[in-house]
Amino acid sequence: MSDTQAELHARRAGSFGSQAGQYAEHRPDYPAAAIDWVLPGGVSDVLDLAAGTGKLTGSLIDLGLAVTAVEPDAAMLGELRKRFPSATALIGTAERIPLDDCSVDAVLVGQAFHWFDVPKALDEIGRVLRPGGRVGALWNYEDDRVPWVSGFDAMVRTGVSRDWAYPAPLPDHRLFEPFEREEFEHSVRRTAETLVAMVGTHSHMLVAGAGERASINARMREYLKAQPETADGEFDLPLRTFTYRANRLISPAV
């Protein structure tokens, strides 16, 4: 990664706090089936890593789990604390997790693993997991197999957008068994305005200039008004949730 790419990556990674309330309001949650697939049996203590405003935290609390949420952005963590006061909310990063060794049964990461220094993050995740515990990573993507969604995605690119591929397999690591992968279909109810607001919380929009954002917002509204699926009232936004899991080895390789 060049210096310019690294600087842009850092800007995008740190952009979310400026719109923490919008993020909490408009980003989609994760399907229950994906969360169930990730969690190990007998789980009690769970870390929601890079927790943002708590899109995973709330679902984990609803399952009766003891949840610690770790997030580097104070504004995002503030939203999480307001919405989920029963969670233990801590400032920290994936590369420096503020928990003791062997303190949780599972570590879940929603929509954030691509921002990590992955080898360092897996070292830290392995440190805080109990032997036999599990790490899981989840990503929501708009389902571009649906024609209107594909057309919509094509017009929301900014000058700093990247060509996103669906997440590649996570790398092998000496502390973990090989990662397994599964995909789940999901959907959320939206209107044209709430879908535009959701896209506005994406990092490429957050770091774009005001003029470019306004132009893209206008194009999105025009497009959605012209599609029969989205022209009037509420509609379902179809999603694909790509999910990975791996167990921590009880006796890691050295």
Residues 49-100: pLDDT tens digits? 999 999 999 999 999 999 999 999 999 999 999 999 999 999 999 999 999 9
Whether the predicted pLDDT of 3 surpasses 50: no
Q: Which of 26-35, 83-92, 146-155, 165-174 has the lowest mean pLDDT?
A: 165-174
Which pLDDT belongs to residue 12? Answer: 42
For residues 205 and 196, the answer to whether their CB atoms sit within 8 Å is: no
For residues 125 and 135, the answer to whether their CB atoms sit within 8 Å is: yes
Q: Look up the CATH number of domain 3-142+162-187+239-247.
A: 3.40.50.150
Nearest to 40 by CA among 250, 254, 252, 245: 245
Which pLDDT belongs to residue 175? Answer: 95
- Mean pLDDT computed over every residue of the chain: 87
Which pLDDT belongs to residue 254? Answer: 53
Percentages helix, strand, coil for the chain (3-state, rounded to 5) are 40, 25, 35
Domain locations in the chain? 3-142+162-187+239-247
Per-residue pLDDT tens digits for 179-196: 999 999 999 999 999 999
Which pLDDT belongs to residue 156? Answer: 78
Share of the chain above pLDDT 90, in %: 69
- Banded pLDDT at 166 (limits 50, 70, 90): low
pTM for this one?
0.86
Which pLDDT belongs to residue 179? Answer: 96
CB atoms within 10 A of CB 243: 24
For residues 16 and 204, the answer to whether their CB atoms sit within 8 Å is: no
**In this structure, are strands 129-142 and 88-91 parallel, antiparallel, or unpaired?**
unpaired
Which pLDDT belongs to residue 13? Answer: 41
- Banded pLDDT at 10 (limits 50, 70, 90): very low
For residues 32 and 59, the answer to whether their CB atoms sit within 8 Å is: yes
106 φ, ψ (degrees, to nearest 5): -150, 150
